[in-house]
Amino acid sequence: MKRNNLEKFLEKIASGHTPRGIVVTSTDPAISELAADCGCDFLWYDMEHSPLGIVEVAHHIAALRGSDCAPFIRVGGILPHLTKAVLDLAPAGVIFPMVNSAADARAAVDLCRYPIYGGSRGGALRSNNCYGSVPLDEFLECSRRDPLVIVQIEHREAVEHIDEILNVPGVGSVCIGPFDLSFSYGKPGKLDDPEVAGAIDRIRARCAALNVSCGGFCAGEFWAERHMSWRAVGEDTSLLVGALRARLAAEKASER
């Protein structure tokens, strides 16, 4: 939908380019404004592992109006009460964590689609239909595929069932969660371990084979030679920490 730039995000992937963005955990919507101005193709608002609430995310998404940046929201689980108000904000995509089975994937799709398309989504209309400026028939037609349902693969159980998950109708993209995935193999943070790296590469390979886009949190050298359909290249606070430490180190070095 034009309201959330989903088409621009998907067109970039289809044209062979890789959309890039960051994970946002800070409450100040200026973060979204400046990230869009810097050229981010999408922003991933993390409502699972950050202080962000629905009001803050609403303000962040409003700050993207007039930009080409697509808002994604990661919810805390595959549950109606965590998803309904999020959908009313018109995100381009919803990221569902810990999707470990086809049943989980079907539940995620169900939450994002209206009953006329076999789902259970509620019928509230707010910014999702531009406060009534989008005719209902047009909005409902868009809702067949909007928002993008993004299933997060972050456990070894999900890797074992990857084909079943990818074959669930309505799954729009995969998001690899590398750190939780490494924890599930008993090797926390060791992405270069052959078993963990092999699991990540298997996810990527099966997504490619079944024509499902695959993205995720891709900061660091591990990802340099691994093609991904879309990449979150950092997280707002960690990017600030890195830049600040480098600046302070340079300032201290200049005193010598």
CA–CA distance, 122 with 84 (Å, rounded to integer): 7
Question: Does residue 229 lie in a domain region?
Answer: yes
Question: Does residue 47 lie in a domain region?
Answer: yes
CA–CA distance, 179 with 48 (Å, rounded to integer): 15
pLDDT at res. 89: 94
**Closest to 43 measured CA to CA, from 170, 233, 223, 177:** 233
pLDDT at res. 108: 98
CATH number at residue 85: 3.20.20.60
Torsion, Cα 91 97 99 100, to 10 degrees, reads: 170
- Give pLDDT tens digits for 114-146: 999 999 998 878 777 878 788 889 989 999 999
Burial call 125-160: b when 16+ CB within 10 Å, e when fewer: eeebbeeeebeeeebeebbebbbbbbbbbbbbebbe
Question: Does residue 88 lie in a domain region?
Answer: yes
Domain span at residue 67 reads: 6-254
Question: Does residue 83 lie in a domain region?
Answer: yes
pLDDT at res. 1: 62
Question: Does residue 87 lie in a domain region?
Answer: yes
Q: How many domains does the chain have?
A: 1
Query: Residue with structure tokens 């943070």?
Result: 189
Question: Does residue 1 lie in a domain region?
Answer: no
CA–CA distance, 199 with 195 (Å, rounded to integer): 6
Q: Does the global pTM surpass 0.75?
A: yes
Question: Does residue 137 lie in a domain region?
Answer: yes
CA–CA distance, 152 with 182 (Å, rounded to integer): 14
pLDDT at res. 166: 98
Which residues of the chain have a pLDDT value below 50?
none
Pairing of strands 173-176, 213-217: parallel
CA atoms within 13 A on the CB side of 1: 28
pLDDT at res. 128: 79
